[in-house]
Amino acid sequence: QWGRYFYDWHPIIHAAINKMVQYPITDFVFDTDDDNLKKNYEAAFKTLKVRDVLIRMGLDYFVCGNSYLSCIMPFKRMLECPECHAAVAASSAQFRVNNKEVFMECPKCHKNVKAIVKDSQTKDLHDMRLILWNPLYMQVDFDEILGNCSYYYSLPEHIKSSIAKGERKYIAQYPMYFIDAAREKKLVHLFSDKLMHLKRETHSASYFKGLGQPIISPVMKYLFHLLILLRAQDA
């Protein structure tokens, strides 16, 4: 939290970290003689905004000492009528949520029914999401002997409350494990083999067990001193 504060407040720290993050990110090189393959990769990198993601990863890495990246694969959520088995996309359906159940008027038989929620994987690249998890909401269970890590994410309160209220955009778009975690007031367990944890390594006796150390932390004492001097100057 203090790393975030000083990055947002201190002009020199802000500029220095931005330069450290952006300088090593050059243009992408696609090493292939296959023109179609090159075009596909260029289109994919542009659609997923890979360069922007790398910059944000670098900011998390230096400001917080940790960056967490994973991918939500594209899927399409359908609401199926249990009477006539007609299905409609949740994004375009008119439905309401009552006591964790989804109710809708079937577009085919026009009955008010409790819909069956079905998710199916798709290959639409535009629906793929590269997710940078907020380090402040991440909990890391670190085994100091074996070096294994388990990752748990606490959904922000406004998202949990919106899901609990049954807001349509969350019910229609969010993966079910998000929705279930919000309803049951639990953490989201992220599999370590599907999560990239980029951290600034430190020594074995560090206070940050299983975590990286923010680059700002060694100069924190001097920054606090600077704030005291500025406050005295204002007085």
The model's pLDDT over 152-176, given as tens digits with 9 standing for 90+, comes to 999 999 999 988 888 888 888 889 8
Per-residue model confidence as pLDDT tens digits over 112-150 = 888 888 888 888 888 888 999 999 999 999 988 888 899
Mean pLDDT of 206-224: 87
The model's confidence at residue 187, banded by pLDDT at 50, 70 and 90, is: very high
Helix (H, G, I), strand (E, B) or coil at 100: coil
Average pLDDT over residues 17-24: 94
Secondary structure (3-state) at 22: helix
**What's the pLDDT at 153?**
95
Per-residue pLDDT band at 108 (split at 50, 70, 90): confident
pTM: 0.84
Task: Report the distance separating Cα 81 and Cα 163, nearest Å.
Answer: 22
Please name the residues in contact with 200: beta carbons below 8 A apart, sequence gap of 6 or more: 61, 62, 65, 66, 212, 213, 214, 215
Burial class (CB in 10 A: 0-12, 13-18, 19+), 151: buried
Residue 208 has pLDDT above 80, yes or no: no
Least confident of 85-99, 120-134, 184-198: 85-99
- Mean pLDDT over each residue of the chain, to the nearest integer: 89
pLDDT value of position 36: 94
Q: What is the Cα–Cα distance from 77 to 75, expressed in whole angstroms?
A: 7
